[in-house]
Amino acid sequence: MLFVLNINFFFFFLFLFFFLFGLYFYLYNFVLVFDYNFLNMNSSEFSFIFLFDWLSLIFLSVVFLISGSVLLYSIDYMSGDNYIIRFFFLVFLFVFSMFMLIGMPDLICLIIGWDGLGLVSYCLVIYYQSSSTLSSGYLTLFINRLGDVFLILSICWCLNYGCWHYLYLYNLNLNLFMLIFFFLACLTKSAQFPFSSWLPSAMAAPTPVSSLVHSSTLVTAGLYLMIRFNMFLMGYLNFFLLNLSILTILLSGFSAIYENDLKKIIAYSTMGQLSFMIFILLMGCNYLSFMHLLIHAVFKSLLFLCSGIFIKGFMGVQDIRFMGNLSIQSPLISSCFLISLFSLCGLPFYSGYFSKDFMLELFILSEVNFIYFFFFFLSIYLTLIYSLRLFMNLFIFNVGLNMFNLFEFNYMSFSCFFLMTISVFLGSMFFWLFDSGFFFVFDFFFKYLILIFMFFFMIFYNCFNFNNFNFKSFYIYFFSNMMFLPFFSSNYVVSKFYNFSHLMFLVVELGWTEYLISSSLIKILNFLNLYFNKMILNSFKIYFFSLLIFMVLIFFM
């Protein structure tokens, strides 16, 4: 494990290196481009290009920070695994793919990182080999392949413009179909409606993978590209994506309220926060969306790492109804979990508050109708409801059958404490270092509207018992199951795929030789044996039938 520790220190060094260079590039407005042209064909250039500006450098620093913490965490978490070298190799491949995606502004080269993210994610989802993880991996791979198809179609459309660098595409009037294909690819990678069902299913992967891949890097890749192409988000396309993001926030919030799996609750939370960032991006504020993306990546990865310690302490149990009283049994990890949970809720002076409060104030001052206003605040405070439910089940309730095992988690506790320390002051640090340029002036009513909603939804939580809820209301069941998206995208499609593959296996792999040689030959021999036996026994039917066949043959000849 000495090699892994050296890689961890190298990743932490890269975090400081890219972060300091990102600050330098931001202050002096520098952009560094490396370009190597290796092919010209039909007036189109094929080149290998890297773009380093403050946006990509800061994002890379956060990726290396989380990757180093997750690798350090995995030394203890995956210690008993027989294939731990394969696990670390897959994580290194994933970090490399993420680096290629962030640093390359060329769509042809960008698909290397884009495709690598999907393939490595599939390999990590099926890491624990079982039928359930295989179906989850198929679903993840299928929807990511669908996103690759959309991206390839947009790349093909770029042949009309003679270049694939989106630095040059900024000054062009791009075709609407190309933009639709490109943003659909971004929606599939960021798990937006109707491509949302793969993210909860991908929780079959190990918890460090969920922290790195499915909370902070892979799912933010689509949003990162949407931030790069934010100048094309206008008109009907903007209106369409705005409605999709609101719908995804509502679906993820209702699903998280009635979900009992700890990792799936956090996955639904990730989906809702991504929709929240996309909504703010579509409102025209790409800077705030990017800042919330970075802050959310750090405290959400911390949330996953703490939940992994809870699951390992409860011997693999992920149901929150069988957990409880964790604040006494594991006070350090519980403190880290609560800090990340409070940041998710946007409580004042936690890291999530600095970006989330700006977003809420921006939305209040925007010219939107009452329907958007109501659903936006409803979706935001659904976050408060399921976070409060999670807090009550893990730290307040005591089920009486607690089997929490206190192991010596040296590396796991250190990585959680390290991420907790950074996530405490990351929000304020970003808004101090980077000049946001925002200054909102509110009257008394709008300033305290957020607190009014908070107390209203706390009363709403006390009126409903979400733990012992029976799904008698079809509407609640409909929304809590994401409008039956998991059925249509996993159960239905995968079952049909399995049935077809089983049929092809029987017919092609086992069927041709069995049918043509063994079964058919035996049937033919049985028929001939029966025929000749009847001929020997002077059967009238056989003689008469043979005569008819002979006459027919003579007639046609």
Average pLDDT of the residues in 298-314: 85
Residue with tokens 């976050």: 383
Evaluate whether residue 502 is within a structural domain.
Answer: no
Is the domain of 400 the same as that of 516? no
Tokens of 419: 């991420």
**Position 464 pLDDT exceeds 60:** no
238 C-beta neighbours (distance < 10 Å), count: 15
Tokens of 487: 């059925």
Average pLDDT of the residues in 423-437: 76
For residues 492 and 424, what is the distance between their CA atoms, to the nearest angstrom?
44
Is the domain of 409 the same as that of 477? yes
Is the domain of 482 the same as that of 515? no
Residue 513 has what pLDDT? 59
Is the domain of 172 the same as that of 108? yes
Average pLDDT of the residues in 371-389: 81
> 218 with 117: CB under 8 angstroms?
yes
Cα distances from 134 to residues 68, 387, 411, 484, 498, in angstroms, run: 28, 30, 30, 21, 11
Least confident of 58-72, 199-213, 286-300: 199-213
Q: What is the pLDDT of residues 310-341, one digit of tens each?
A: 888 777 778 888 887 787 777 888 888 888 88
Average pLDDT of the residues in 282-297: 85
SS3 413: helix
Which of 44-48, 131-135, 158-162, 423-427 tops mean pLDDT? 423-427
Task: Read off the pLDDT band of 505 (50, 70, 90).
Answer: low
The count of domains in the chain is: 2
Strand pairing partners for 161?
none
- The alpha-carbon radius of gyration of the chain (Å, integer) is 29
Residue 546 sits in which domain range?
Answer: 510-556
Task: Read off the pLDDT band of 264 (50, 70, 90).
Answer: confident
Strand pairing partners for 388?
none
Least confident of 7-21, 114-128, 343-357, 522-536: 522-536
Is the domain of 77 the same as that of 140? yes
For residues 235 and 180, what is the distance between their CA atoms, to the nearest angstrom?
12
Evaluate whether residue 406 is within a structural domain.
Answer: yes
**Position 64 pLDDT exceeds 80:** yes
Q: Domain boundary residue among 497, 523, 543?
A: 497
* Mean pLDDT computed over every residue of the chain: 78
pTM, 2 dp: 0.81
Evaluate whether residue 504 is within a structural domain.
Answer: no
Compute the residue count for the chain.
557
Q: What share of the chain is helix, strand, coil (3-state, %, to 5)?
A: 75, 5, 20
Is the domain of 432 the same as that of 545? no
How far is residue 214 CA from its own chain's centroid? 5
Residue with tokens 């006070």: 331
Q: What is the pLDDT of residues 124-161, one digit of tens each?
A: 888 887 777 777 777 888 888 888 888 888 888 877 77
SS3 49: strand
Is the domain of 154 the same as that of 196? yes
